[in-house]
Amino acid sequence: MQGLTVTPEEPADVIAVRGLTRRFGDLVAVDDVSLSVAPGEFVVLLGLSGSGKSTLLRCLNGLHPVSAGEVEVLGTRVHAAPEAELRRLRTQVGFVFQAFNLVGRLSCVENVLTGALGRLRLPRYGVRSYGQNLRREALACLDRVGLADRAFQRAGTLSGGQQQRVAIARTLMQRPRVLLADEPVASLDPENAGSVMDLLVRVCAEEGLTVVCTLHQVDLALGWAHRLVGLNQGRKVLDRPAAGMDRADVMDVYRRVEPV
Ligand SMILES: Nc1ncnc2c1ncn2[C@@H]1O[C@H](COP(=O)(O)OP(=O)(O)OP(=O)(O)O)[C@@H](O)[C@H]1O
């Protein structure tokens, strides 16, 4: 049709943070940070211990209220959302923790099944209380992380690397659109850290997830991130595509205090 041109729209940012400040009493843990994350982007947050990485991550899904500024995730205005809206948002935002947060006495498959609770109306108790389709899906999630053969083993009896794989399977079961990962490989030895990161990056790419992940391992960050964001004393001191950056550029994050 003449005269009618349809321009493909740029997809909106999945995460948009503007002037975010989070204080704990007199301490400014996150200081006037702005950040946009595009669909499917894998952003790694770097910075010294205490620089505000975990606090920023928790502000993204409303686990910490913000002191000032705006946080928008998947179109939800997190800074102003009532608790019910935040609960709805959290069903779409997976969280992977350093300490795995599995229930050690439950089997791997039952831990994975809990990832589906956000989309079920009633609580469930025991593997058999979930329908057959969900049980099949949970086993498929375990298969994707290479642990189908451990489905009925108690999660607490697995190694750290295996437990983090189960936690990733639980996140897949949640079918999130965004993944927040707080030092997901900090408790693992270097070899396991590499292979769990490898898995995390692969499944996130397969699912088209938008990811914000805090890491202490600079080499892993350089190897896997699309973009590196550095914090120092709560301020954003780096925000660059990872391609073309080297270790020395990244190490600057740990010294710089001037915001970008
Ligand atoms: N609930 C809280 N109450 C008081 N202070 C807090 C709280 N949570 C974090 N802080 C403080 O906020 C600052 C930032 O902490 P945060 O955990 O975000 O840092 P981090 O960069 O994630 O550190 P790490 O790499 O060690 O996990 C620190 O000084 C910390 O002590």
In a domain, 209, yes or no: yes
Per-residue CA distances from 9 to 2, 5, 6, 16 (Å): 20, 12, 9, 17
Residue range 86-100, pLDDT digits in tens: 999 999 999 999 989
| From 27, 58, 97, 232, mutation site for ligand 1 pocket: most ligand atoms within 8 A of C-beta | 27
Q: What is the CATH number of the domain that holds 235?
A: 3.40.50.300
Domain boundary among 130, 152, 175: 175
Atom of ligand 1 at shortest distance to CA of 47? Answer: 21
Contact 129, 84 (CB under 8 A): no
**Ligand 1 centre and the CA of 27: distance in Å?**
10
Tell me the residue range of the domain where 224 lies: 1-92+176-260
Domain boundary among 126, 153, 175: 175
Give the chain's residues under pLDDT 50.
Answer: 1-3
pTM summary value: 0.91
Specify the number of domains making up the chain. Answer: 2
Domain check: are 109 and 196 in the same one? no
Which protein residue has the closest C-alpha to ligand 1 atom 20?
50
> What is the CB neighbour count within 10 angstroms for residue 106?
17
Domain check: are 108 and 122 in the same one? yes
The binding-site residues of ligand 1, defined as CB within 6 angstroms of any ligand atom, are: 24, 27, 29, 47, 49-55
* The pLDDT value given to residue 9: 60
Torsional sign, CA 136, 140, 143, 145: negative
Query: What is the ipTM metric for this complex?
Result: 0.97
Which protein residue has the closest C-alpha to ligand 1 atom 2?
24
Domain check: are 187 and 72 in the same one? yes
**Ligand 1 centre and the CA of 54: distance in Å?**
7
Residue range 196-229, pLDDT digits in tens: 999 999 999 999 999 999 999 999 999 999 999 9
* The pLDDT value given to residue 254: 87
Integer Cα distance of 71 and 36 in angstroms: 10
Domain check: are 151 and 182 in the same one? no
* The pLDDT value given to residue 124: 81
